[in-house]
Structures are given as C-alpha cells and as structure tokens.
Structure 1
Amino acid sequence: MEERKLDINSIIGFILIFGILMYMLWQNQPTPEELEAQEKAKQEQVEATDNNQERQQQAPVNTNIDEVIIGEATDSLQFVKFQNALGAFAYSALNASDDDVVFENDLLALKFSIKGGYLSEVMLKEFVDYNDEPIYLIKDNNANFNINFGTSDSRILNTKDLYFSPSVTKSGDNTIVSMKLKVSERKFLEYRYDIKPNDYMIGFTIRSQGLNGIINSSQEIKLDWDLKGYRHAKSISYENRYTDIHYQYEGDKDDYTGARDADEDIKEVSWIGYKQHFFSSVLLTNMPFKTVRIKAENLVQDEDVDTLYTKNFASSIPLELEGGEFNNVMDLYYGPNDYKIVTAYDRNLDELIPFGWGIFGWINRYVFMPLFGFLGSFLPYGIAIIVMTILVRIVMSPVTYKSYVSQAKMKVIKPEITEISNKYKDNAMKKQQETMALYSKAGVSPMAGCLPALMQLPVFYALFQFFPSAFDLRQKSFLWAEDLSSYDTIAELPFRIPLYGDHVSLFPILASLAIFFYMRMTTGQQMASQPTQEGMPDMGKMMKYMIYFSPLMMLVFFNNYASGLSLYYFISNLITIGIMLVIKNYIIDEDKIHAKIQENKKKPKKENRFQRKMKEMMEQAEKQKQSQKRR
C-alpha cells in the first residue's frame, strides 16, 4: 500500500484552516457589553431561583385536574445554555418542564413537546396501517412547526428551538392545553390547543400578551409548517399517487398540487391540507392568510429502498400582528379523508377527496357516494360493488342499445355505401355527397353510434375516480383480496417487472379477459358495419391490434391499482357482454331494420337548414373543382 505523506499543499491547507478558525474565535468573542449582560442575567437567575424555592415551600400541592400546572425547572446550567439565544425569553428556559404533555381523546393520542410548543406526536386510535401498526401522522420528528421573528434587541428567534411552559385545564367537556413561551408570568407567547372529546378537529390559537415592545413588528414574521408523510399502504407508489397538498383560496376556490413536485405561491388561503391518500393533516384559519408559499417533494425514488416516507410538504406563511401582538385563531385537523366526517365540519374539507372536476365530481358526490353508502350499510363491500355495478349497467343499457342499433343500421346499408365508394373513388367530393344523401334517405346517422359511447364516458371516469377515493373500502376484504382499496395478490414474484411490479393480482387479469371479449364483440360489429373501401384494411388492422393492446394495458397498469376498481371493471364488462348478447339475439332483427330503411328511402325527406347549407356548400365546392379542371 502506498504510504501517505504530507506535501507542501497539505501543509498550506492546514495553516489556512487554522488561521480561519483563530479568526472566527477572535471575531465571536463577547464584547464588554455582552459580558455585563450575562453577569446581570446570572444575578436575575439566582434571584428567580430563590423566589421559586420560596413559592414551592409556601404553595400547597394542587391535585385539581381542572387546573394542573406541569412542573417548573430552575436548573442554572439550562439557563446559562439558553440565555444568549433567548434574550428576553430566558424566563422560559428557567421555567421549562422536563416532560412533554401527553393527552388522549376518544379518537386521537397526542403529545405536545415543551421544546417548540407544538404537536410532536399524533396517533389516530381507530386505524392501523397495512402492517397492523398504529397510524401516526406525526412522530419521530417528521413534522416541524415554527415561528420565526425578530426582537427589539436585534435577535432572530425560532420558536422550535425555545422551551415552552405547559399547562392543562378543563373547560366544560373540552381540554385546554396551553404552551407558553414566557418573558415573565404576564408576558408570553402562547400556543393554545382546544381539544374536544370525540373530534378530529383541534382548536388552535396563537396569541401573545405584553410582547408589543419586545417583538420587532417591522421585520417579517413567518410561520413554517413542514411534514414528511409516512407510508401507510401496501403499495407506496399507489399511495404516493394520491398524496399531495390541497388548499382553499380566494373564498371557496380549491386546488391541489397533484403527484408532481411543487413550489408555488397562493393568495388568500383559508386552509392548507397535507393529504396522504386516506388521511390528512390540515391547518385552517378563520382569517385567510394573505399569501402562502407551498412546496411538495417526492421522497420515493426507489420503491425498494425509500419505503418510510412518501412526500415532504412545506408551507411558509407570513403572519401579521394586531397592535404588536399575535392573535391568530386557527384549527388543526388530523384525521381520515372520510366523506361523512369531513363534510360534517362544513369547511369544504371534502375537497381533500379527489372525486374529479366538473360533472365527474358532481356524479360522485350526489349519485355514487350516497348509493354506495346505502348499499354498504347492509351488504359486504365487495357485494356492494357488484350490486352498484349491476345498477349502473342497467341504467346505461338504453345507451348500449342505441349504440348497437346504430351499428346494425350501418351494417345493413354497408353494401350501398361500398357501391358509392367504388363508383366515385376518383371524386371524393361527389362520394361524400352521395353518402350523405344515402344516410339522409335511410334515416341513419353515423354519429348515432359515437354519441352513446360519449355519454357513458362521464360515468366511467367518475367511477375511476370514485373507487380509489372511497374510504369505506380501506382494509375491507372480499374473496382473495385482503384490502379492496389496494391491490390483491395471488403470487409474489422474486423480481420486479417495470410498470407491472413484483406481484400478480388476479382481479386485473379477470378484468383484462372480460374487456378482451367485449372488444372482440364490439370491434367485430363495428368492422362489419364499415364500408369496404381503400384504406380500410389498414384501419381493420389497427382495430385488431386494439383488441389485444387495451387488455394488455389494463393488465399492466391495474396490477398496482385498488382491487375494488378492477372488480368493478370485471363485473361491468361481463354485464355489458351479457346485455349485448341479449340485444343481438333477442331484441334486434336485422331483416326488420332493413325493411324499415327501405321504407324510409321511399318517403320524401325534408332537409333542415343545416343540411341544406351543407349540401349547397358541397355543390359549390364541386362546381369550383370542375371549373378549375377546365382551365
């Protein structure tokens, strides 16, 4: 092994580093004024310690739970450690408790940290994750809540680094947890938490008293709220797809960052929600924040390694003082994205649930959510999905019928359309005119088969949004699926296939088979109704490829989707195939359709204004084309 030796460059480097360190030590040595202030603070600390000891000897022990003061520590070493950083708030270092505050209501288990005064632990008592471990939204320093502000003596303080004095009191059925950052007993910054017995919403107020001469109101006062979202679901990629920042702004407008990384400014913000698929942490304010800077960062780069957190969220909120004092009335929501729960607060928190925009959201909120809630109240959720799917297909069956009838009519007149195409193959304009005339006489519209399919799209897309967002499906089993809100597994693979995953799900396989047979039926019908003309063989090849391509895409991408969604598509396609077979074999008679078309041809057909205009335009274009040929 080569022996390491010091060369001239290394010696010069060490000398430079030593010189820089010596300069920093000289530059940061305390001034005479600071030494005098330290000596004065030590004397005040000794006097405060004596006063505290006298009060402790004279005061009786308070055992009333309605007024519990949690500890007062007077360690002089603690005071010396924090006095330079705290300045006027050194009193809080003297009176800080050694213990955090722990409290539970019926739904939440909470821990309040004396350092920083914020919630350092939030556990949802009624839920567990995919490993049957408790659901923690905050734990092990994954969250940060900090106010950054300047003081009149030119210091910059961060509340997350300062020690608060806690107290717990009762107010009726509610419990009040007060965390105070004290200058003295009558001068303080307070975080006040109002906890109800059976509620996920916590009243939260930031207020101060007697600090109008201590806080520098000319400098920006900023609230920073950060959180790294813990993984709670079996598929971290699927959970991450529905993990993002939602917010309400400018009155009742709402928006979200989506699965992408984000860094943006928003104005007039009423609430900010860190959504983790089925659970959210939300900060709400009675008086909208004038501006908020939000950031979202994806923490999952490798699903085999990055398995603890999903995304990192951050919000930076400038706060304003009232008369030099804090007075910000807010709320904190830590709970499930359950439609019944969030709508009960009447704060538009249902926007945390991605039902879709426009008509899609309307269908989910007012049709599918009440219907599924009703069915789920007395049926197992897997059966409720099947029953709802049957009801949806029955309601949509008239649309399916019209689409099939339109294709049957096109199939009947196909020989005539083919004849026109061959007759006018060199004259596209004339071919178009004659084809439109045939459609008009026969009473057939080529768009009649497309419109029913377009009418079904809002329903299909709404259901695509509904099942991944239905909280009631979470950890509900059906047949071999352990959780209808996550993928079902019938086999684990010893390797990971890109896009597909490291497991095999059965419901996507069944759904893919169903859509394959459905597309064979519909594509065959469509090809039979299309006229034979130049270019059509290529179109036929493309349609044949789609028969195999669409099921393959579903098989791959739905392998990691909610099994409830795959169950819906499987049942939906089975029912559609059944309806089409009934229509084909028992309802539609092609001979009668042909006779009806021939009868329509004999009747004089009145052209509407649009048809006349189109005919005139086509005739005019044909005349112009003929005149150009003569030239």
Structure 2
Amino acid sequence: MEEKKLDVKSIIGFVLIFGILIFMFYQNKPTPEEIAAQKAKQEQIDAAAAKEEKADDFVIDSTPEVNLNDSSAIAGYKSKIGAFGFTTPKEGTTVLENDVLFLKISNKGGHVVEAKMKNFVTYDSVPVYLVKDGNSSFAINFSTIDNRVLSTKDLFFEPNLTKSDGKQILSLKAKTSNDQFLEYRYEMKPGDYLVDFTVRTQGLDGIINDSNPVTLDWKLKGIRHSKSIQYENRYTRLTYHHEDGKLSKLSEGSDDEETEEDIKWISYRQHFFSSILAADEPFKSGELTSKNLVEEESRTFGFTKAYSSVLPIEVKGGEISKSMYMYYGPTDVDVLSKYEDLDLVDSIPFGWGIFGWINRYVFTPFYSLLSSYFPYGIAIIIMTILVRLAMSPVTYKSYLSQAKMKVLKPEINELNEKYKDNAMKKQQETMKLYGKAGVSPMSGCVPAFLQMPIFYALFMFFPSSFALRQKSFLWADDLSSFDTIYQFPEGFSIPFYGDHVSLFPILASIAIFFYMMMTTGQNMPSQPGMPNMKFIMYLMPFMMLFFFNNYASGLSLYYFVSNLITIGIMLVIKNFILDNDKIHAQIQENKKKPKKENKFQRKMREMMEQAEAQKKK
C-alpha cells in the first residue's frame, strides 16, 4: 500500500488557501460607517456594563460624599456612625512624596486615593498610576457595643503631617475625644517605595465589640499601563506569601479565590508594577479574590483585574494595634531585593523550580551586568552568543547523533525494504543494528531535553525583566513588548495573530525554519509510520510566527540570534569537525566488538522474540 506524502502541489494549495483567507478578511473589513455604528453600540454596551459593575462585589467606594454645607447631611452622618461622636466631617487630602513616589491620602477613610510613580510613564507617555480615580479602597470594618457595624471608609480623620530627618510622618485620627481615637499612621522615607503603615486604637475598648471579627478589606482594580492589554494581563496576578515560606498565586487567566492561613504579604501585581501589603506579624487567615476583567484585546479598555482581600485583625484588650507596610512601586528585582526581611522579591514571576532559579540567579544578574556596559539590545545579543557558546557541546552531541543516523540510513532503508511486511521483525532488526553500531536513536533527544531549562528560563526572563521595559532597539520601541512594523486598520484583526505585524517574530521563524531544515530534515522521513512528520516539523516555524507576534520583542530577538548562531555552530561542526568517513569507520569497528546486553535490553529482546513466535503460531 502506498504511503501518503504531502507533495509540492499540496503545499502550494495550503499556501493559496491561507492567502485567500487573509484576502477575504481584508476585503470584508467594515466600512467607516459600520465602524462608527459599532463604536456607538459598544459605548452603549460599556455604559450598561459600567452600571452593572457598580452593583457587583468589586465596587470600590459607593459611599456618598457628605455635603459640609448641609447641616442635615452632617446630622445624618453623625447618626450613621452612632452616638460615639467620631471626628466632624472635613473634606481634604494630604500629600506624601519623595523623589520616587507621590501619594495622596484622603481625610475621608484615611486611605490612599492616588499613588503615582514619579520616574515612570506608560506606553503613551502618561505617568504610571497604581491608585487613581477611585480604583482602590482600604478599610477597617468593626462593630460597636451597640451593634452598629462601622467601616473606616465612612469615617473622617484629622491629619497631622510632620517632617523629621528627611522622613514624612502623617498621623490621621478618627476621634471620639482627644484621648479616644482610631489612628492611621504613614511614614515615608526619602527615595523609598515602601511606606510604614500602622493601625491602632486608643481608649476604644469600651466602644469596639471584640466578640465580633474586625477585618481589613483591601480592593484594587489594576490600571492598564501597556499597549497590549491582553499581554499585560497575562503577567498581572495576585501573589501571596503564606505559611512560613510558601509562595502561591491566583489564576492569571480566569476568576479565582482562595482562603489561606498565616499570610505575610499580598501582592497585587500589574505586570511591571505592584501594590503590596505586608505585615510584621502575619495575618492569621485571609480570603483572597481575583477577577479577570479582560475578555479580548482592546485599544481603549482601562483595567486588567479586580483584586480583593479580607484579612482579620486581632483585638487585644479591646484595642487594635497592627504594624504593616505598603509598597507602591516597580516589580524590579533591584528594588525589591532591598526588603530582604519581607521577601518581597519573591513576588516577581521568575518561573517555578529550577527554571526560576536559573532566571533569578543566572540570567537576571548576568543581563544586568551586560546592560550596564552595552545598549540593551546589544546586551541581549551578547548574552545570546555567550549562552549558545556555553551550550555548544550539547549542540555537538546532538549533531553527532544525527550524523551517525545519517551514516546508518542506507542500512536502515534496506531493513525497511527487507521486512516491509513484518513490522515486528523490522523493529527488532533495526534495534539490533543500532546496538551493534553503538548508536542510540534517543541520543539526539537528550541534548534537546538538557536545553529545556534554559529555554523556559529565558521564556520567563524577557517578559518579566523590568530592565527591558521601554528600552528600544532598532525598530522596536519597547523590548519588553511586541515590536510593530505595520498596524492593521482599527477593527481588523487576524484570529490568533493580532492587529499588527511584528518583524522580530518573522525573522525568528525564518531562522527556526532553516534550523529545522538542517536537523529534522536529515532523519525524520526515515522514521517508519511517520511519512508526514517532516511537514509537521516544518509547520512549527509558522506556528511560532503566530505565537510570538504578541510576545516581548526581546524574546523574539533572542530566538532569532540564537538560531542563527546555532546554524553557524552546526555548519562549523559539519564542515570542519565531523568526518562522515571516520564516523562510518568507527561504526563498522563498533559492529565487530561483542556487545553485552544489560537487563533491560535482554528483557526487550526476549519480549520481541516471544511476540514474533506468537505471531508465527
């Protein structure tokens, strides 16, 4: 029976079909009138969705403002908080800032209502905000002895800002009297993203009902900072440190929730920036929630995920005292490593197991060293060259195995023809030939397996390396995001590919294609029962083209240069190091030597002989 193979005509047919599909997508793109109508319809949908969002669990703050000019409104406020006479309403904010961080803290609720990075901007040159326009809320919820349930987000605090030795200390007190109050205390140091934060009460042991739980409720919606919201959302995740050293994460692609114990810190990561709450003494438990807000790529949608944490606070002797830290800053290993006592550097997505170890302790410091002397793109190329040279012995082993298989190919073809009607016997004789020649068909796979930790570590390094953020190289504006040489018209997008064309993935795919030609092209067609494997392997570069179009251009640059170097190394090995005649002579010598079977080989031979005998019966 003739084996089916994919000929040139079939390949041309696939290419033509793909071209026709692209042409149809382009021809059927909507007219400007249709785009305008669709945009109007989308605005209506967004407006409806916004109304629904205000009603869900992730409403940040729906508390109405108190009209300070309306005596009845003030009376209503006092009635709401009870007969304990907390601080009279007084609107306003207080600013804490140093040379890297700007915080605005509201009198109402005493929490951060604006957090701005002073030295970073978004992809469209707008300052990076982690908190702004009500996307965050922070409150302590407790009940009183007359069974009223109060939240600090409804209380007004009296601010008192002092400065000493470069430090800024802001004390905010919600008072029932001068010696009875609930206090939020912020302490900001020069050049530091970490703010000391303390919650305490004084004289409220006769007001707070300690038989009911006191909880800290922290919510935040991640603000978009990158040009691709789907790509940013892939690395936007709630991470937490718990149970004395464990590091866990909620799902990055779907809604998720967990209840955990002994939580040391919680990180609301927004790809390259993080909002972190940490404590000196871990929270005994916590209810953590992450809600995915991104359903598809959008050029205008402003939020990635909605996070929520509910944490219990202990009441001792009727009073509250909790020392914490708030971090608003970059997800940068150089910055987070400064806080060793809190282990905040673990919030960076280095990868798991040995892959994360290689990324964190090898590639990250190595690239930092290179980029301190060379431009960022050149540093990637130099690192790629050094990595490939270090892996060249593995490449040599792989190519040597392929050369041996190539030498044996005529003999394998003879066996295939001789035993074409007896698959069992053909397999048995083929393995016997490999054994006599001292060749293992799996030896070419082992080097590839050894390279997997390097492959995965670099796969995690480029998208998460803060050092690459907004660093340009050639036509790429940002090595931590995709490069764009052509932007499709608004409203047009190729499924699984995107609304733009990136050049680095195209170059990487071409390099991968030629690499596959030099490696799999030699051996794959000879594998019995796999007539189309060669085509499937050639399909890989095409798939990589789609996969990498929305990934970091630094990653595509690495794979492009890496495959070029590998091709060069293999050409040197083929033309100047390996000698097929010598390999053939060595194989013939190996055949003459008696081979001692190990237990596994003997067992396999006996099983195959038994199967052959059974077949004859």
Q: Is residue 308 of structure 1 aligned with residue 302 of structure 2?
A: yes
Deviates more, 1:613-622 or 1:580-589: 613-622
Kept in 2, the 8 Å contact 1:79–1:90? The answer is: no
Where does residue 568 of structure 1 map in the other structure? Answer: 558
Kept in 1, the 8 Å contact 2:138–2:218? The answer is: yes
Q: How does 1:318-467 map to 2 (within 5 A)?
A: 318-346=312-340, 347-467=342-462
Report Cα offsets for 1:33-87 as digits up to 9, x if no partner: xxxxxxxxxxxxxxxxxxxxxxxxxxxxxxxxxxxxxxxx999666423111112
Secondary structure at the residue paired with 1:240? Answer: helix
CA positional deviation for 1:136:
0.8
Report Cα offsets for 1:500-525 as digits up to 9, x if no partner: 22221111111111111111221212
Where does residue 109 of structure 2 map in the other structure? Answer: 116
TM-score by length of structure 2 reads 0.85
Matched residues in 2 for 1:214 and 1:440: separation?
Answer: 85
Secondary structure at the residue paired with 2:85? Answer: helix
Matched residues in 2 for 1:75 and 1:171: separation?
Answer: 39
Matched residues in 2 for 1:211 and 1:370: separation?
Answer: 51
Q: Is residue 102 of structure 1 aligned with residue 95 of structure 2?
A: yes
Kept in 2, the 8 Å contact 1:242–1:259? The answer is: no
Matched residues in 2 for 1:78 and 1:393: separation?
Answer: 71
Report Cα offsets for 1:6-59 as digits up to 9, x if no partner: xxxxxxxxxxxxxxxxxxxxxxxxxxxxxxxxxxxxxxxxxxxxxxxxxxxxxx
Where does residue 518 of structure 1 map in the other structure? Answer: 515
Matched residues in 2 for 1:303 and 1:451: separation?
Answer: 39
Deviates more, 1:134-143 or 1:296-305: 296-305
CA positional deviation for 1:89:
4.2
Return the letter of the residue paired with 1:101.
T
Kept in 2, the 8 Å contact 1:97–1:166? The answer is: no
Matched residues in 2 for 1:162 and 1:293: separation?
Answer: 24
CA positional deviation for 1:217:
1.1
Q: How does 1:59-98 map to 2 (within 5 A)?
A: 79-93=74-88, 96-98=89-91
Where does residue 144 of structure 2 map in the other structure? Answer: 151
Matched residues in 1 for 2:285 and 2:86: separation?
Answer: 33
Kept in 2, the 8 Å contact 1:189–1:206? The answer is: yes
Matched residues in 2 for 1:201 and 1:612: separation?
Answer: 65
CA gap of 1:508–1:241, structure 2 versus 1, over 3 A, is same
Secondary structure at the residue paired with 2:549? Answer: helix
Secondary structure at the residue paired with 2:295? Answer: coil
Kept in 2, the 8 Å contact 1:248–1:270? The answer is: yes
Q: Is residue 162 of structure 1 aligned with residue 159 of structure 2?
A: no
1:489 to 473, 484, 492: 484
Where does residue 220 of structure 1 map in the other structure? Answer: 213
Secondary structure at the residue paired with 1:592? Answer: helix
Q: Is residue 581 of structure 1 aligned with residue 571 of structure 2?
A: yes
CA gap of 1:318–1:306, structure 2 versus 1, over 3 A, is farther
Report Cα offsets for 1:277-321 as digits up to 9, x if no partner: 000000001111122111111222343375211111111112221
CA positional deviation for 1:384:
0.2
Deviates more, 1:310-319 or 1:329-338: 310-319
CA positional deviation for 1:436:
2.5
Matched residues in 1 for 2:548 and 2:436: separation?
Answer: 46
TM-score by length of structure 1 reads 0.83
CA positional deviation for 1:344:
1.6
Where does residue 296 of structure 1 map in the other structure? Answer: 290
Report Cα offsets for 1:201-246 as digits up to 9, x if no partner: 1111111011111011111222110001111111111111111101
Matched residues in 2 for 1:240 and 1:617: separation?
Answer: 53
CA positional deviation for 1:572:
0.8
Matched residues in 2 for 1:498 and 1:178: separation?
Answer: 54
> Relative to total residues, which structure has the larger helix share, 1 or 2?
1
Return the letter of the residue paired with 1:584.
K
Return the letter of the residue paired with 1:110.
L
Q: Which runs of 5+ in 2 are unaligned?
A: 1-67
Report Cα offsets for 1:460-497 as digits up to 9, x if no partner: 11101100011011111111111111111111211222
Deviates more, 1:491-500 or 1:473-482: 491-500
Deviates more, 1:396-405 or 1:82-91: 82-91
Where does residue 549 of structure 2 map in the other structure? Answer: 559
Return the letter of the residue paired with 2:495.
P
Where does residue 40 of structure 1 map in the other structure? Answer: none
Higher CA-based Rg: 1
Where does residue 508 of structure 1 map in the other structure? Answer: 505
Return the letter of the residue paired with 2:212.
Q
Q: How does 1:185-196 map to 2 (within 5 A)?
A: 185-196=178-189
Matched residues in 1 for 2:598 and 2:377: separation?
Answer: 51
Where does residue 262 of structure 2 map in the other structure? Answer: 268
Secondary structure at the residue paired with 1:510? Answer: helix
CA positional deviation for 1:419:
2.8
Where does residue 60 of structure 1 map in the other structure? Answer: none
CA gap of 1:556–1:602, structure 2 versus 1, over 3 A, is same
Matched residues in 2 for 1:287 and 1:500: separation?
Answer: 47
Where does residue 532 of structure 2 map in the other structure? Answer: 541
Report Cα offsets for 1:409-428 as digits up to 9, x if no partner: 11112222233334344544
CA positional deviation for 1:527:
3.1
Secondary structure at the residue paired with 1:572? Answer: helix
Report Cα offsets for 1:502-558 as digits up to 9, x if no partner: 221111111111111111221212236x36x5x3xxx232321331x2222222222
Q: How does 1:603-614 map to 2 (within 5 A)?
A: 603-614=593-604
Q: How does 1:220-239 map to 2 (within 5 A)?
A: 220-239=213-232
Return the letter of the residue paired with 1:311.
K
Secondary structure at the residue paired with 1:188? Answer: strand
Q: Which runs of 5+ in 1 are unaligned?
A: 1-72
Secondary structure at the residue paired with 2:145? Answer: coil
Matched residues in 2 for 1:399 and 1:473: separation?
Answer: 29
Deviates more, 1:425-434 or 1:455-464: 425-434
Where does residue 471 of structure 1 map in the other structure? Answer: 466
Return the letter of the residue paired with 2:333.
Y
Secondary structure at the residue paired with 2:137? Answer: strand
Kept in 2, the 8 Å contact 1:200–1:335? The answer is: yes
Deviates more, 1:167-176 or 1:508-517: 167-176
Secondary structure at the residue paired with 2:306? Answer: strand
1:278 to 257, 261, 272: 272
Q: Among all aligned residue pairs of Structure 1 and Structure 2, give the percentage whose two residues are the same amino acid.
A: 60
CA gap of 1:281–1:408, structure 2 versus 1, over 3 A, is same
After the TM superposition, which parts of structure 1 deviate over 6 Å for at least 4 consecutive aligned residues?
none
CA RMSD of aligned residues (A): 1.9
CA positional deviation for 1:605:
2.1
Matched residues in 2 for 1:496 and 1:621: separation?
Answer: 55
Kept in 2, the 8 Å contact 1:299–1:306? The answer is: no
Matched residues in 2 for 1:621 and 1:349: separation?
Answer: 60
Return the letter of the residue paired with 2:204.
L
